[in-house]
Amino acid sequence: MQKFFNKSKLLLLLIVIIGAFFRFYDINFDQNEHLHPDERFLTMVGEDMKLPHSFAQYLTPQTSPMNPANIGHSFYVYGTFPVVVNKILLLLTNSDTYNTFTLTGRLLSGFVDLLVILVIFKTVKIFEKEYGIHKNTKYWAAFMYAIAVLPIQLSHFFAVDTFVSSFAFISFYFTLRFSFTKNLAWLLLGGLFFGLAIASKVTAVFISPLLLYLLINAYAKHRQIEKINLPRLAGDLLLFGLITYLAGRIADPYLFQTGNLFDLRPSQHFINNIKELEAWSSPTAWFPPGVQWIHKTPVLFALKNLILYGVGIGYSICITLGIYALFKKIRSADLFFILTWVILFFLYQGYQTVQTMRYFLILYPFLAIFAGIGFTYTSRQIPRLVQVMLFFGIIIWPLLFFSIYTKPITRVTASEWIYAHIPPKSVILTESWDDALPLPIGTLSGSNYTIKELPVFDPDTQQKWNTMDTMLAQGDYLILSSNRGWGSIPTVPERYPRMTQFYHNLFAGKTAYKKIAEFTSYPSLTYLGIPLTIPDDNAEEAFTVYDHPKVIIFKHIR
């Protein structure tokens, strides 16, 4: 028994090491160029933060130097907890610089995501005890999350996504433990992490139906809802809510109107920011980042990105097999409810205008559990060769995706090429709402060139095209730093008829600008000596733009 226990620990340790390797390999893959706009913004906010004079000042939204609204960042729709933790950590280590803020934030982002692997293991261990799930499932579920591509990618950035998802799932785990043990410590920890999740981003409230279900079940005798001990349930709900409130209130005081802990009014400034964000996300708005969402098919677009890019096809098959096993073999009401919540959340978010993959990250720990169930139960019924093929189908996508961190980011490679091949003082045209190239590298900077920004996202008026034509006539080179423009503008030709035609002619070689260089970093196995590369141009914009965008350089042939 002791020997098996040691093997169990070693196997779990190996899974964690695999997850850590994928998340922390080359954490400075972009060479301090800060190319993720959300990460760049959080870094600027964190850099501008100052330590309050007192805890009371920290809690006071109107005066705290850690409130983004007080330090020149009036529009802020995230939680401040991850930024504040990062700031304090850097101040304590006397290393608070612009670059270290980002890199330390990435380490924190990867660390909290790494914790999910352990929590999934412990969660499935509870399911194993309560529902008789096969003992190997906990290892496979933990492994599935360790290699899930979207969590790996988001762990390479300092944004709030992994914090929200991780804290929400940890809250779920502790509440699940309380549901079976009625141990007050688990209730308190569940409320604590739920509050931290909300303090990272308020969208964490979407997991509240799961938490409420588990709290109700704690006092339903034999899990029968009609036999609930109402007084004890009411008391626990009140205590859970109180701990959640205090944790969220202290971790992000700026979600509230005043610094008075007894004043429950939400911040009107924050509410106005959320309304402004919603207005920008409307299909009728002319907000450039929102153009990509205008004609996306509800649910199906999100489902495609989940299957092909978020986890991969083999992984998705295991999720489907896990759901099948759930109905045919396990038949647990609790797991059915979790599955129902996963489906309803996916449908809800999939019907929103913005279907970006990171908004679904909160589902990935549960998808890993379903995938672990699917692989465990299926592998016991299929020949060894088929098992190996299924495993290969699971692992190939993270191995392919990992390749982008084994080589320089395309924008850096393209910038080096520009300095080597484009003469100084050349006029370089770039696109609005994108990062201009060349990037500063060492002692070299774009100041050697005349950089002009084409207003590609402006409405297709004659005035815009007078400007565009003048700039195109003056330019020596045109550099498309990513697919932000050409990947989204032609999807709405009714808004951008002339821009759509321009891109069509540009790529068809029918303009004065001819392609002379292209830089890609597609998911590939060439770093392992295997000639397999998978273009992912059809993925959601954010999946490629931040860490492996396609860069195309055109020269004006006069």
Write down the pLDDT at residue 102. 97
Could you read off the pLDDT of 316-371 as tens digits, one per residue? Answer: 999 999 999 988 888 888 899 999 999 999 999 999 999 999 999 999 999 999 99
pLDDT at res. 218: 83
Question: What is the per-residue pLDDT for 225?
Answer: 54
Which of the residue ranges 10-19, 255-264, 272-281 would you say has the lowest mean pLDDT?
A: 272-281
pLDDT of residue 222: 52
Residue 224 has pLDDT above 60, yes or no: no
Q: What does each C-alpha distance from 224 to 229, 234, 413 come to in angstroms? A: 11, 17, 61
Tokens standing for 367?
């998808």
CB 291 within 8 A of CB 457: yes
pTM equals 0.94
The CA-atom distances, in angstroms, between 465 and each of 116, 149, 160, 371, 459 are 51, 41, 39, 51, 10
* pLDDT tens sequence across 270-294: 999 999 988 888 888 788 989 999 9
Residue type at 503? Y
Return the pLDDT at 223.
52
**416 — pLDDT class (breaks 50, 70, 90):** very high
Q: Are 235 and 48 in contact (CB under 8 A)?
A: no
* Residue pair 113/151 in contact by the 8 Å Cβ criterion: yes
Contacts of 123 (CB under 8 A, 6+ apart): 141, 172, 173, 176, 365, 369
Distances (CA, A) of 134 to 100, 128, 161, 230: 44, 6, 31, 34
pLDDT averaged over every residue in the chain: 94
pLDDT category of residue 557 using cuts at 50, 70 and 90: very high
How does pLDDT run across 113-127, given as a tens digit for each residue?
999 999 999 999 999
* pLDDT above 90: residue 446: no
Handedness of CA 36, 39, 45, 51 (dihedral sign): negative
Q: What is the pLDDT confidence band of residue 485, given thresholds at 50, 70 and 90?
A: very high
Distance of CA 362 to the CA centre of its chain: 9
CA angle 495, 280, 105 (to 5 degrees): 120
**What does the pLDDT average to over 150-177?**
98
pLDDT score of 156: 97
- Residue 204 scores a pLDDT above 50: yes
Instruction: Phi first, then psi: give them for residue 522, nearest 5 degrees.
Output: -70, 155
Residue type, 545: V
Torsion of CA 209, 214, 217, 223, to 10 degrees: 100
Alpha carbons 173 and 162: distance in angstroms, whole number: 16
In the chain, where are the structural domains located?
2-288, 410-556
pLDDT at 194: 98
